Amino acid sequence: MLEVRDLAIARGGIAVLERLSFRVGPGQALVLRGPNGCGKTTLLRTLSGLQPPLDGQVTLAADSLAYASHADGLKPTLSVTENLMFWAAVFGTGRAAVETATDRMNLRPLAARAAQNLSAGQKRRLGLARMMLTGRPVWALDEPTVSLDAASVALFAAMVRAHLENGGAAVIATHIDLGLAEAEILDLAPFKARPPSQGGSKGAFDEAFA
Amino acid sequence: MLALLTRDLRLAVRAGGGFGLGLGFFLILCVLVPLGVGPEGGRLASIAPGILWVGAMLACLLSLDRIFALDWEDGSLDLLATAPLPLEGAVAMKALAHWIVTGLPLVIAAPVLGVLLHLPVAAQPWLVVSLLLGTPALSVIGAFGAALTVGLRRGGLLLSLLVLPLYVPTLIFGAEIVRRGAEGMALATPLLLLTGVSLGSVALLPLAAAAALRINLR
């Protein structure tokens, strides 16, 4: 469903990862590991098409990837249901999907509350519930479990597992163990970009001076 | 796309949404100008078209940076850019929401405030017509400027510098329509030019703004 070949990516004009290849098929999850600043977020943004790769190829069916960033994209003055209804309308999934997502992430008791009055963990749950409204097969999740408690992490893992069982796929950048036994783990450290003097990819910054 | 429009309108009327900001500014300006210039009707009448149009333009400028900045801060701009909605359409909808929240109330309030400035009765309908034709251009040009400066901390100054020169034709033709209307002169030329500015902006600038957003989101 998602294939990456020989990918090189840059953040702020400086190459961070190179020679990266992997493939994620239906029902598979890929967990990205690596130290801070190694390019996990940049990789996910490249996969979702928000920024172009330096080199290499990302093969992905059009409109098949849903991206969840660090920020949840919630509107503070809208209620939980209104926030979800907006994204359901954008992705064309409708009311029933909102109801399911509300129940699955245990947001029912908060449904009428404005997003500005939610706790950090509750906001995160609302942000993750949005993924179920996208109806897209490939999920790219950036640190999805930040500020979630153990019970919510379990809810999230169950949500991802259900998505995988329906033939979906997920790429997840995270530092904690999600309890997803089927997930494959990819350590990004070996793919760290070498300096251009040692044959590494040139960032846009280097090109400007070449 | 309608969902985005209704969401933006709903956000605008909720607490802290900025609805009425432009209108309030316009109101204050039109109340204060007669106090500053003096009550002499003839002098007020001659400057009224210019004051009303400059006021409308500055009122629009006041809320421009909110068009994309809020969505950028909370991350929904990233999510919108990856949503099935074309970004050009999203820009057009956000500009339309800005016009409904800022431009439309100005069009409606302008005749009342025109009376405060001794605007001749003959010019009243032309004031409404010129604002109705011109304010959409102000919103779309503003959305383009906001897209260029999204992500910059305190980008408001740069936004004003970028947008004000682009506002000049709209301002000149808009005020000219009202002035000629007041004096009973022929006004086909400024009317056509203002319409042309508006239509051209509405047709082209959403594309430019979407391209600017894509670059700024990288």
DSSP state of A113: S
Q: Do A90 and B80 touch (CB under 8 A)?
A: yes
The Cα–Cα gap between B6 and A130 comes to: 19
Average pLDDT, stretch B202-213?
Answer: 95
> Position B29: which residue type?
L
Q: Is A209's pLDDT higher than 60?
A: no
CA B50 to chain CA centroid, nearest Å: 15
Q: Please name which of B178, B202, B168, B176 lies closest in space to residue B110, comparing C-alpha atoms.
A: B178
Closest residue by Cα to residue B63 from B14, B93, B97: B97
Percent of chain A scored above 90 by pLDDT?
Answer: 30
DSSP state of A10: E
Q: pTM for the complete prediction? A: 0.90
- Pairwise CA distance, residues B179 & B187, whole Å: 9
Nearest Cβ partner for A67 among B4, B15, B79:
B79
Identity (one letter) of the amino acid at B176? Answer: E
Nearest to B55 by CA among B103, B87, B13, B17: B103
Question: What per-residue confidence (pLDDT) applies to A203?
Answer: 63
pLDDT at B154: 81
Those residues whose C-beta lies under 8 Å from the C-beta of residue B154, and which sit 6 or more positions away, are none
Portion of chain B with pLDDT greater than 70, in percent? 100
* Mutation choice for B interface testing from A46, A69, A70, A136 by most B CBs within 10 A: A69
**Amino acid, single-letter form, for residue A83:** N
* Single-letter residue type at B143: A
Question: Can you say whether the dihedral through the CA atoms of B27, B32, B38, B39 is positive or negative?
Answer: positive
User: Quick one: B165 exposed, middle or buried, by C-beta within 10 A (0-12, 13-18, 19+)?
Assistant: exposed
Q: Is the predicted pLDDT of residue B139 greater than 50, yes or no?
A: yes
Decide if pLDDT at A206 tops 70.
Answer: no
* CB of A14 less than 8 A from some CB of B: no
**Integer Cα distance of A115 and B88 in angstroms:** 28
- In angstroms, the first-to-last Cα distance of chain A is 37
DSSP code of residue B153: T
CA distance A12 to chain B (A): 9
Residue A204 above 70 pLDDT?
no
Q: Is A78 on the interface with B (CB under 8 A)?
A: yes
B 6-65 residues with CB < 8 A to A = 7, 10-11, 14-17
The answer to whether A92 contacts B84, with C-beta atoms less than 8 Å apart, is yes
| Chain A nearest C-alpha distance from B135 (Å) | 27
Nearest one of B55, B47, B65 to B25, comparing CA atoms: B55
